[in-house]
Amino acid sequence: MNPKRKQRLLIILGMVFGLGIAVGLVMYALSQNINLFFTPTQIATGTAPDDQFIRVGGMVREGSMTRDPSSLQVAFDVTDFDHNVRVTYTGILPDLFREGQGVVVQGRVHNGLFAATEVLAKHDENYMPPEVTEALKQSGQLDKIMGRN
Amino acid sequence: MFAEFGHFALVTAFAIAICQSVIPLYGYFTQQDTLIATAKPLALLQGFALAVSFAVLMHGFLVHDFSISYVANNSNLYLPWYFRLSAVWGAHEGSLLLWALILAVWGVAVSLFSRGIPDEMASLVLSVLGMIGIGFIAFMLFTSNPFERLLPFAPANGQDLNPLLQDPGLIFHPPMLYMGYVGLSVAYAFAMAALIAGRLDATWARWSRPWTTIAWSFLTFGIALGSWWAYYELGWGGWWFWDPVENASLIPWLVATALMHSLAVTEKRGLFRSWTVLLAIAAFSLSLLGTFLVRSGVLTSVHAFANDPERGVFILGFLIVVIGGSLTLYAIRAAAVSEPGRFGWLSRESWLLFNNLILTVMAISVLLGTLYPLLVDSLGGGKVSVGPPFFNAVFVPLTAILVSFMVFGPLTSWQQMKDTRQYRPLIVAGLVSVIAGLVWPTQMLGAYSIASALGTVLALWLALGTVIDIRQRILEYGSVRVMSRKVGAGFFGMWTAHIGVAVTIFGVAMVENHTEHRDLRMGPGDVQALGPYEVRFIQLEKIQGPNYVADRVTFEVWEGTRLYQAVMPEKRLYNASQMVMTEAAIDPGFTRDLYIALGEPLGDGDWAVRLSIKPFVDWIWAGSFLMGFGGIVAITDRRYRRVRARKAALLEDRVAPA
């Protein structure tokens, strides 16, 4: 094998090896950092794991929101119209957060309560997060929302 | 009738794009100079037709022509004129028109500034650009026509532009970003033309380099503006979210960065040709993929707007044609590409090779992290999301490695480094940086953090390394004057950009590790401490804007007994859309930003309030600006013009005897 070819082969082998290791590490890091999505029904029926970081999507139930009078703590129900999950959150809610609107919350379930560390509502009021659509589809209540908009 | 005129111009542009892609290509293969020569005028014509189309849509916005559905959906009688102009690209259809226009503008630029390039080569490039144009204009005409009418029942008033987009940042962010995205199509077209013509050589690399660099600069500016906009307008003070849409712009940026460096090797040493071509294909394909991700709504994102899946299918099809077509051409042609010459293991080529490897791994990681949820969902694994911890875990160590390459690379000679004593000052600089890194975080707010120390070390080492490189060059040439004449603008561009990277890394490390951040409940008369300041809630008032009403709170920021400043964040309710928006009050500074924003009213006159001090946050964007500016400096290099001058001289010689 001439030296030029040999160098090329070494470079390519090195690159494949390096990329292989990198992709392996990336996949490992991915598996450690994904957040699974659950519907309110899955949480109410206990299918969702306790104390694990997860996402829940659904609609904020009308009239369910309560505020602590002295701090930034709020609580509200996220519903797929079959079951509700009580969510607690301390902090500032996004501008588009409203009762009766779609929302995605991230956090952990503990004793049936969902302690959210993040509340996401979207840019555009006509936009429905895919998670919420999914949750409502599973509970068979999607038409209720689509009819209204 | 005016809107139909715009539609007509768009159809005309479509027809011209078809001619532009077919005629010169046919001329090239049949060796007919007259056909080859049509490429440039056709590119100019296409640019003109699209400019007319764009101007018509803009006119529709200015005169409130609500019979155009797109105007009715994205404008309003009370929208100020400058936002009516930027509203043209505020939603899907218009931003596509802007995309097509910018593509045509790149085509015009290629036909005007390619005098140093043989005509048949330039015409091949323009032909490829024409093909991309066909794709995008067809996309508009068939799935998203911006001139669609709402007749006979035109509304009396429009639904207003999404309030988030009613911001000066949006006037510049999309055009800049698109200039970058679409600019990569020129690098792609050059690669395709070189493959078709079978001349992947150093000359091709020299032609392609300035176009790649300028596109990269625009992309850098575009991403930085987007991040800045997110910071003050929507992010509650965050500057990067690892959101799929942000990733969609970062992935091509990383690949384009690799491409710039790989092109340098191809031009100077004739090496890495196949790799460079692959990168050029990848950079453009990934910017198309970015468009697909943004426009199809397949991913959950803070940027996601109501979307139409059919559009996604179209772009996906287009993407498959582009990637499939170019890889096929590559497979046919690349086998014939030979790589002349070798290089030693300790050479600038090696450093650049490893730099490319790291940048590619970064791009692949971001891509995997972005597409993973799609993948899992399509395999029936349910809905998942990948959070920032993943991206941070991947990016921080890779950046650290990359920085060390940036320190050693420029000081290493081509082919084989003979004298490693030149590395000594770099190692000393590294030790100095480590000491600085140990000390500096103790001077900042908050707890000592390893990450902050690491950021400080990397930033300082890179900055010092760059200065050492400059100093070595000056010593080599004897004086600053001789050096600056000899090394060329390319080096100045590189130094500027590398310093920019150092500045950005420092800003990121400080903001991520030393931000003081408090969410509080405050009412009139309340006082809260914030770092060295005291923040007082003075009063709440209602104000009336042009198309919104707002609650505005006046806060006084006191430094001891001295009033430092009064700031007034707002909470706006936009009339037409009934959307609520937060206008944060930011007091920018060299070493920190003071950030105060209103959450929601809590009753009894109390408000949720966010107070933060963000140390060195503006350095993130200042550094990005330096990077982009470095790119602009680099393309002013004499040798790109010299080619043109030489060519002109050649022509004169030829003309003279005749």
Structural domain including B111 reads 1-166
- Rounded to an integer, the average pLDDT of B303-314 is 62
**Could you give the C-alpha distances from A49 to A55, A110, B139, B458, in angstroms and in order?**
11, 9, 45, 41
Contact B520, B534 (CB under 8 A): no
Q: In what order do the strands lie in the sheet with B585-587?
A: B516-522, B606-615, B592-603, B585-587
For residues B159 and B219, state if they share a domain.
Answer: no
pLDDT category of residue A10 using cuts at 50, 70 and 90: confident
pLDDT at B41: 94
* A18 touching chain B per CB within 8 A: yes
Q: Check the CA dihedral B383-A40-A87-B597 and report its sign.
A: positive
CA A18 – CA B326 distance, rounded (Å)? 26
Is B236 within a domain?
Answer: yes
Cα Rg for chain B, rounded, in angstroms?
27
Q: Is A127–B610 a contact, with Cβ atoms under 8 angstroms apart?
A: no
pLDDT tens for B158-181 read 888 878 788 887 788 888 998 999
B28 by DSSP, 3-state: which? Answer: helix
Under an 8 A CB cutoff, do B577 and A129 touch?
A: no
Backbone φ/ψ region at B606: left (φ over 0), alpha (ψ -120 to 50), beta:
beta
Give the C-alpha separation, B176 to B253, whole Å: 13
Q: What is the mean pLDDT of residues B504-509?
A: 96
d(CA B266, CA B96): 34
* Chain B contact for A5 (CB, 8 A cutoff): no
Residue B31: exposure state from Cβ atoms within 10 A (0-12, 13-18, ≥19): exposed
**Across residues B128-147, what is the average pLDDT?**
92
* Domain co-membership, B288 together with B241: yes
Are residues B15 and B123 located together in one domain of the fold? yes
User: How confident is the model at residue A1, as a pLDDT?
Assistant: 58
Chain B residues closer than 8 Å to A19 by CB: 357, 360-361, 364
Which residue, among A86, A58, A84, has the nearest Cα to A144 in the 3D structure?
A: A58
Q: Are B509 and B455 in contact (CB under 8 A)?
A: yes
Residue B108 lies in a domain: yes
Chain B: residue whose CA lies nearest to A118: B387
Residue B636 lies in a domain: no
* pLDDT surpasses 80 at B9: yes
Alpha-helix runs per DSSP H in B409-537 = 424-439, 450-477, 480-487, 489-514
| B486 has a pLDDT exceeding 70 | yes
- Summarize the confidence of residues B1-10 as an average pLDDT: 89
* DSSP element (H, E) containing A54: strand A54-60
Tokens 């959150």 correspond to A89
Q: How far apart are CA A4 and CA B342, in angstroms?
A: 6
Do B284 and B387 lie in a common domain? yes
Secondary structure of residue B449 in the 3-state scheme: coil
**Residue B429, C-beta contacts closer than 8 angstroms, at least 6 positions apart:** B407, B461, B464, B465, B468
A2 to chain B, any CB pair closer than 8 A? The answer is no
| A60 CA: distance to closest CA in chain B (Å) | 17
Instruction: Report the gap between the CA of B143 and the closest CA in chain A (Å).
Output: 19
Structure tokens at B96: 């596509």
Do B475 and B520 fall within a single domain? Answer: no
- The C-alpha of B388 sits at a distance from chain A's nearest C-alpha, in angstroms, of 8
B647 domain-assigned: no
Residue B189 has pLDDT above 90, yes or no: yes
CA distances in angstroms from B329 to B7, B90, B198, listed in the order given:
35, 37, 10
CA distances from residue B614 to A136, B167, B223, B468 in whole angstroms, order as listed? 40, 22, 20, 31
Q: With 60 as the cut, is the pLDDT of residue A147 above it?
A: no
Each residue's pLDDT tens digit, A92-137: 888 878 888 888 898 999 888 899 998 887 655 555 666 777 777 7
Mean pLDDT of A74-101: 88
Contact residues, chain B, for A93 at CB < 8 Å? 599-600, 608
Mean pLDDT of B240-252: 89
Residue A80, Cβ neighbours under 10 Å: how many? 27
- What is the pTM assigned to this prediction? 0.90
* A26-35, B72-81, B263-272, B521-530: least confidently modelled range: A26-35
Are residues B367 and B390 both part of a single domain? yes
The pair of structure tokens assigned to B128 is 């490829």
* Residue at which a domain ends, from B166, B197, B213: B166
Domain-located, residue B88? yes
Among B242, B310, B300, smallest CA distance to B92 is for: B310
Residues of B with CB below 8 A from A67's CB? 602-603
Report if residue B646 sits inside a domain.
Answer: no
Which amino acid makes up residue B123? Answer: S
B505 shares its domain with B521: no
Which chain B positions have a beta carbon within 8 Å of A125's beta carbon? 577, 579
- Give the DSSP H/E element, type plus range, for residue A131: helix A130-138
Residues 6+ apart with CB under 8 A from B131: B17, B21
Q: How confident is the model at residue B651 (pLDDT cuts 50, 70, 90)?
A: very low
Model confidence over A24-46: pLDDT tens digits?
877 787 777 778 888 888 888 88
CA–CA dist A32, A46 (Å, integer): 23
Whether residues B565 and B429 fall in one domain: no
Question: Do the beta carbons of residue B103 and residue B132 sit within 8 Å?
Answer: yes
Choose, out of A95, A105, A122, the residue to mutate when testing the contact with B (most B CBs < 10 Å): A95
Token pair of B416 as six digits: 């084989």
How far apart CA B267 and CA B277 sit, in angstroms, is 13
Domain end among B166, B183, B198 = B166
- Interchain pair B383, A131: CB under 8 A: yes
**A33 contacts B386 by C-beta, under 8 angstroms:** yes
Cβ atoms of B395 and B369 closer than 8 Å: no
SS3 content of chain A, % helix, strand, coil (to 5): 35, 30, 35
Mean pLDDT of B309-318: 77
**A 99-128 near B (Cβ less than 8 A):** 104, 120, 122-127
Judged by CB atoms closer than 8 Å, whether chains meet at B304 and A23 is answered as no
**Together in a domain, B117 and B221:** no
| Chain A nearest C-alpha distance from B521 (Å) | 6
pLDDT over 80 at B380, yes or no:
no
**How many helices (H) does chain B have, and how many strands (E)?**
20, 11
Q: Which amino acid is at A78?
A: V
On whether both B301 and B319 belong to a single domain, the answer is yes
Residue B367 amino acid letter? L
* Domain final residue pick, B139, B166, B193: B166
pLDDT tier, B302 (very low <50, low <70, confident <90, very high otherwise): very low
| pLDDT given for residue B443 in this prediction | 86
Averaged pLDDT, B485-491: 87
Q: Are residues B471 and B521 in the same domain?
A: no
Q: Where residue B543 falls among pLDDT bands split at 50, 70, 90?
A: very high
CA pair distance B358, B255, nearest whole angstrom? 10
Average pLDDT, chain B: 88
Does residue B2 belong to any structural domain of this protein?
yes
Q: What is the pLDDT of residues B493-506, one digit of tens each?
A: 999 999 999 999 99
CB B547 within 8 A of CB B78: yes
- The tens digit of pLDDT for each residue in B415-458 reads 887 877 888 999 999 999 999 999 998 888 878 889 999 999 99
pLDDT band at B283 (very low <50, low <70, confident <90, very high): very high
What's the domain count of chain B? Answer: 4
Let me know whether B530 and B460 are in one domain: no
Q: Which of B567, B647, B655 is nearest to B612 (CA)?
A: B567
| CA–CA distances in Å: residue B356 to residues B189, B223, B264, B344, B628 | 21, 21, 12, 17, 19
Nearest CA in chain A to B398: A22
Amino acid at A50: D
Q: Assess contact for B639 and B264: CB atoms under 8 A.
A: no
Query: Comparing C-alpha atoms, which of B39, B49, B46, B40 is closest to residue B9?
Result: B49
Query: Where do we find the tokens 């009819």?
Result: A147
The pLDDT, as a whole number, for residue B298 is 59
In the predicted model, is pLDDT for residue B564 greater than 60? yes
| B438 Cβ neighbours under 8 A, 6+ residues apart | B453
Q: Which whole number is the average pLDDT over B267-287? A: 90
Determine the pLDDT at residue B627.
97
Long-range contacts: B275-280, Cβ < 8 Å, 24+? Answer: B275/B356, B276/B191, B276/B200, B276/B205, B277/B191, B277/B194, B277/B195, B277/B200, B277/B330, B277/B334, B278/B330, B279/B255, B279/B356, B280/B187, B280/B188, B280/B190, B280/B191, B280/B208, B280/B212
Q: What is the mean pLDDT of residues B268-281?
A: 89
Examine residue B466 and state whether it is found in any structural domain, yes or no: yes
Look at residue A141 and tell me whether its pLDDT is greater than 90: no
pLDDT band at B59 (very low <50, low <70, confident <90, very high): very high
Pairing between strand B516-522 and B384-386? unpaired
pLDDT tens digits, residue range B100-113? 999 999 999 999 98
